[in-house]
A and B are shown apart, each in its own frame.
Chain A
C-alpha cells in the first residue's frame, strides 16, 4: 500500500523533466562526473551512455559533487572538500557560465543543490568558528552570494531537498578541518555527526538525528532521498579499523535513525567506508558504494540487504531513467558498469587513462 503510494509520487516527480523526454525514444540521459587523468589534471566530464566523452572542462583542482537544476539548464560542480570554487556550467552550450569563489572565512565542502526558487545552496564551513553553514547563491544575479544559514552541525557534506522542495536535509559529517591543513581531521576524538532537517526559507533547524553515542565517530557524509522522502545515509567510520559499526542508515520523518548492517562477510568488505548513495528512479531500492572494498551493496527502500556487486575502486553511482530499478557505477579505472535489479552486470564500458571521481550525476 505504502509502496504503491510512493511509486505514484515518484512518477509525478519525473513528469517535470525526464519522463517527457523519455517519450522521444532513445534519450536515456547523459552523465556528469568529475574525473582526473594520470598526470594529475582534473576535469568535469559529460558522457553519453556509451561512454563517449561529450564535454570536458578542466578544473583548477579536484572536483567532487555535481548538481543540476530542475530545468536541466545549469549544472554546478563543487570543488573537493575543503575547496575554494564552485563552477556553474550552462548545459545548452556546455560552457562555464560562472565561477564562484569561496566567501571570506568560508570554504566549500563538496556538494550543493539547486532550489526551485532559483537559488543554489552549497555546503560550506565557517572555518574560524568551525560551524557548518549553507551558502545561498542567487542564479539570476550571476550566482551572487546573498546569504547563509547554519547547517545544524559541523562539517556539512552532501545536501538534498525533500519532495516538498522546501526542506533541506544535511549530512553534517562532524569532522572539523581548516583550510590551512585541508585534509587534516582535527576533532576525531570528540566528533558528533548528525542528520539535520532545515527549512530553506527561514534557515530554521527543524530537527537533527545522531548515531548512538558508541558510534559517535560514524561520519554521516552522503545521503539520497527517495520519492517518498526516505533518506538513505552512507557513512564512514573514523574510529579503529577493526571495529565494525553499521555503515548505512535509513531515516524518515521524525523517527530515530535505523542503522543497517550487511551480512558479516559483506560488512567486513566495506572497510568502514561508504562513498556514494543513490535511490533508483522508482525509489524501490538504493545502492551504496564502498570504494575501499571495491563493492556496491543494494538495499530495499525498507532497509533489507538485497545483494552486492564487486568492482575495483568503484565510487560513483547513478540511477537510470529508462530502467527504473537499475544503476550505473563508475570506478577509478575509467570503468562504468550497468547493474540490473538482480545485481548482475548487464553492460559496461571503460575509458582508459581516466579516473572517475566519487560521484556521478544523471542529466538529460
Chain B
C-alpha cells in the first residue's frame, strides 16, 4: 500500500493481464459449437431428404453436406474439456484412429441387428463406433450408393450427430447449470475450475493435445517411417478425401483459440511473433500440398511437404507446450488429465 508504483507497473505489463474467459467462451467456443449444430442439422436434413427418394437431395449434395459437417467437427476437436467429454461424446462424434477396424466390424454387426427394423431403434444405445462420422463416411463414400438399409443407419447417425451437437451447445449455454457459468469465473467456490491458472492450463493442454494429435497421429500414421512404408489409408477420412482439409480446420481452430486466449499475453514478445509466424508457415506448407494426403505420403514430390508440415506443427507444439507454458506459468498436467 505504501509502495504503489511497483504494483502499478505489474498491472501494466502485458503478461499480467487477466484472462477473459467469458470472451473466450462467447467469441470462440460457443460460435464453434453453433457452427457444429448448424452443419449437423443441414447434414441430417440432406440425409433424410436423400433417403426419402425419389425426388430428394442428390448424392452429391449429401456428400457435400457430410464434408461440411465433418469439417465443423474438426473445427471443434481442439476443445477437449467440458460437455464434449460428457457421455463419451468426443468418441461418438468420430472414431479415429480405428486401428483394429472396429467401425467396419460394428457396422456389419448393426446391419444384422433386429433392433434396426424396430420403430424404437436408437443408435445412441449401440456401439460408440457406429454413432458418428466414421461410420457414416463408410455408408456415403462406398463403392455403391447407400441402399435402404444403409439409409436407415445413415439417417440414424445424422440424427444422432444433430442431437449430440444440440445437446453439447445446450450443456454449454442453456439449462439450469450452463457450463459457461463455471467457465467464465474460476474461483474457490467453483466446483470445476478453482483458479484462472487451472482453467488456462486446461486450455493450453487442449491446444497442445490438438497439435500433438496432428503430428503423431494424423500425419505420422499415414507417413510411416519412409516413402516405401507409407500407408495412405491410415489417413483420417481418406474415403471422402478430407484428411488435409481436416488438419487445416484443426490448425485454424487451434490458432483461433490461441489468438483469443493467449496471444495478448505474449504481445510484443519474440515468442508471440514466432508463434504467429509458425502458424502461418504451417498453413502455407499445408496449402502447398497438391494431392490428397492418402496419395501425397507416397508421392515423390508431395511427401517431403507432408514431412515438412509435420516438423512445423511439431515445432509449434514445442513453442506452445514448453515455451509459452513456461512464460505464462502454466502446467500441461500429466496425472491430472489422463489418470486411471
Contact = CB atoms under 8 A, between A and B. Distances in A.
Nearest to A289: B335
Interface stretch (A112-120, A136-144, A239-247): A239-247
B335 A315 contact: yes
A356 B339 CA distance: 12
A314 interface: yes
B3 interface: no
Interface in B84-113: 86-88, 91, 95, 98-102, 105
Nearest to B85: A241
Contacts of A315: 335, 339
A331 interface: yes
Contacts of B88: 184-186, 188
B335 A64 contact: no
A169 to B, nearest CB: 18
Contacts of B100: 179-180
B115 to A, nearest CB: 16
A2 interface: no
Interface stretch (A15-23, A66-74, A291-299): A291-299
A358 interface: yes
Contacts of B331: 312-313, 333
Nearest to B322: A38
A188 B86 CA distance: 9
B8 interface: no
B191 interface: yes
A interface, over-half SS: loop
A184 B91 CA distance: 7
A110 interface: yes
Interface string B12-25: 00000000000000
Contacts of A268: 188-191, 194
Chain A interface category by residue count: 35 or more
Given A188-B88, A189-B87, A241-B192, A181 B129 contact: yes
Contacts of A358: 335, 339-340
Given A179-B100, A265-B188, A81 B334 contact: no
Interface of A: 36, 64, 80-81, 110, 157, 178-181, 183-186, 188-189, 221, 240-242, 244, 265, 268-269, 271, 273, 275, 291-294, 312-315, 331-333, 355-358
Interface of B: 86-88, 91, 95, 98-102, 105, 127-129, 177, 182, 188-192, 194, 331, 333-340
25 contacts: A64-B340, A80-B340, A110-B340, A178-B102, A180-B101, A180-B129, A181-B95, A184-B88, A184-B128, A186-B127, A186-B128, A189-B87, A221-B340, A269-B194, A275-B340, A291-B335, A293-B194, A294-B336, A313-B331, A313-B334, A313-B336, A333-B334, A355-B335, A357-B334, A358-B335
